[in-house]
Amino acid sequence: MTTSARHSLRVFAATLALLCLAPTGYAETPNVIVIMADDLGYGDVSCYGATELSTPNIDQLAAEGLRFTSGYCSASTCTPTRYSMLTGTYAFRGQRTGIAPPNAPAIIQPGTETVASILQGAGYATAVIGKWHLGLGGPSGPDWNGELKPGPLEIGFDTCFLLPTTNDRVPQVYVHDHHVPNLDPADPLWVGNKKPSPDHPTGITHRDTLKMDWSHGHNSTIHNGISRIGFYTGGHAARFRDEDLADKWVEKSTEFIEQHQDEPFFLFFSSHDIHVPRIPHERFQGKTSLGFRGDAIVELDWCVGELMNTLDRLKLAENTLVVFCSDNGPVLDDGYKDGAIEKNGQHRAAGPYSGGKYSVYEGGTRTPFITRWKGRIAPGISDEMVCTIDLAASLAALTEQPLPDDACLDSFNVLGALLGEPDAEGRDHLVQQDNGSRGTFGLRSGSWKLHHYKRKSARNVVVEQPLANSKVSEYLLFDLEKDPAEKNNVIKQHPQIAASLKQQLSKIIDD
């Protein structure tokens, strides 16, 4: 069958499904690729308004699909967003779901329903490639030289190729399924949070040897001229270069897509760009005026282009739903002196929003969010509210997989909105959390936004100027329609709205 005949057939089938309206027993099983960027802000790509750099591949994705203006992740740090994206449950309901340390055990327990297990149940081949940061191993943590279990394979992924935590944390080795590849038994890998010997070189003792200096934290073991959070020794043959991460994710993803081109597949492409340390490949260094932070965005854009080229080459674009999103909003200095502040110029990483990473201001969680399914999603812009936490219920609906009552507790089926179907609505409210604190929350309900600060949560990182997320009072209220930048606290003017939102928030949190 020619591509255009296949296309017509698919459009016909899709139209038929729409006409009949769900539930029809007509499950659709397109391939699904979720591309999650790391620390990418609303204003960091050109299709969302960036003018100081250009992201042609992400822009093309948006031009061929739906670009959401109210697309969110559920937390303003990595681990809780990833936890809730996969499980469909708010991270504050789970234990130890804040930013995971290097030796964190698996946070999502085996047997938990996830996006991956749902799609696996629907007959998909499933893979996660890239940053994990959701812990590995049993209660005592990862057995780096042995079997790294449980992990992604115990919650619905057939295979994984991972950066175990985040690259400012040790160790700089990959994890393939249950093992660290290329590990030499004569040089075992040790990972810990205490200096292993008095003469172990660190970012403090050997600061003048570093190729990128640290600004706060990140001053323990040195690898590739960069000091990290945590200590490690050994595993030299298994270590990677920071510069090669993006190429590796693309290489492994291309292999996975090629291998599974004839069956439905789910790929969670979990980029490390643009998290610190921002060390893009040499060919991207210096490509923007924004320093390595901008160059890493260009590298991310290249990855998106490579994935889309692979879909085109294998004629899969019309049978693949692509979701592009971020795990939290932007940060400029997150621990290394990479020039992000000095070279920022006119760039507004969070676009028109305040705050960023670590913050419950909109900039913390309102991030780029694009869906593309050629021939199925009509290109356009959507103002519907959708969140990464909704992928679980929405993809379950798409593939007609049942969801147990105790699974995916906070995931809404917003499939119609994700596909841009006429009159389809997104969610009407969303809880935004900062990290794992159970203290600081945002609640967007319609165009109102309530902030709740339980304890002082100001931080010493530069997110955006001015620094957001410091404690001003216990509750704040903003009218996003009039005041998208959350500058004017109107809680005194609208006591009844505030009271009803406070009640709504505590009901969701205490549920």
* Interacting residues with Ca ion (CB under 5 A): 38-39, 78, 327-328
**Taking contact as CB under 6 A, which single stretch among the options 76-84, 187-195, 343-351, 447-455 is the one that binds ligand NG6?**
76-84
> For the packed helices 292-313 and 245-259, what is the interaxial angle rounded to 10 degrees?
10
Return the number of the residue (30 or 151) whose C-beta is nearest ligand NG6: 151
Could you tell which of ligand NG6, Ca ion, none binds residue 230, using a CB distance below 5 to 8 A set by kind?
none
Residue 505: which residues within 8 A CB-CB, separation 6 or more?
Answer: 431, 441, 443, 450, 452
Token output for 119:
């799609």
Closest contact distance (angstroms) between CB of 222 and ligand NG6 is 16
Return the number of the residue (83 or 144) whose C-beta is nearest Ca ion: 83
Distances (CA, A) of 331 to 265, 293, 341, 379: 33, 10, 10, 30
Return the number of the residue (56 or 217) whose C-beta is nearest ligand NG6: 217
**Taking contact as CB under 6 A, which single stretch among the options 113-121, 262-270, 294-302, 327-335 is the one that binds ligand NG6?**
327-335
- Give the CA angle between residues 178, 179, 184 to the nearest 5°: 165
Closest contact distance (angstroms) between CB of 6 and ligand NG6 is 40
Q: Kindly state whether residue 78 participates in binding ligand NG6, applying the rule CB under 6 A.
A: yes
**Taking contact as CB under 6 A, which single stretch among the options 61-69, 71-79, 448-456, 480-488 is the one that binds ligand NG6?**
71-79
Q: What single letter denotes the amino acid at residue 370?
A: I
**Pair 382, 66: CB distance under 8 Å:** yes
Q: Kindly state whether residue 168 participates in binding ligand NG6, applying the rule CB under 6 A.
A: yes
Among 110, 187, 207, 216, indicate the residue that binds ligand NG6 (CB under 6 A).
Answer: 216
Closest contact distance (angstroms) between CB of 275 and ligand NG6 is 6
- Whole-angstrom distance, CA of residue 34 vs CA of residue 391: 9
Return the number of the residue (14 or 325) whose C-beta is nearest Ca ion: 325
- Give the CA angle between residues 76, 320, 19 to the nearest 5°: 105
Q: Pick out residues in 252-281 that bind ligand NG6 (CB under 6 A).
A: 275-276
Return the number of the residue (38 or 52) whose C-beta is nearest ligand NG6: 38
Judging by beta carbons within 10 Å of its beta carbon (0-12, 13-18, 19+), is residue 459 exposed, middle or buried?
middle
Return the number of the residue (167 or 399) whose C-beta is nearest ligand NG6: 167
**Taking contact as CB under 6 A, which single stretch among the options 48-56, 75-83, 277-285, 338-346 is the one that binds ligand NG6?**
75-83
Q: Pick out residues in 9-68 that bind ligand NG6 (CB under 6 A).
A: 38-39
- Whole-angstrom distance, CA of residue 133 vs CA of residue 165: 4
Q: Which of 318, 284, 285 is nearest to 302 (CA)?
A: 284
Q: What is the DSSP string of 2-45?
A: -HHHHHHHHHHHHHHHHHH-S-SS-----EEEEEEESS--TTSS
Closest contact distance (angstroms) between CB of 328 and ligand NG6 is 6
Q: Where are the alpha helices (DSSP H) in 100-244?
A: 115-121
Q: Pick out residues in 407-466 that bind ligand NG6 (CB under 6 A).
A: none
Closest contact distance (angstroms) between CB of 55 and ligand NG6 is 20
Residue 169: which residues within 8 A CB-CB, separation 6 or more?
Answer: 101, 102, 228, 229, 230
Return the number of the residue (420 or 442) whose C-beta is nearest ligand NG6: 442
Which residues contact ligand NG6 by CB under 6 A? 38-39, 77-79, 99, 133, 166, 168, 216-217, 229, 275-276, 328, 334-335
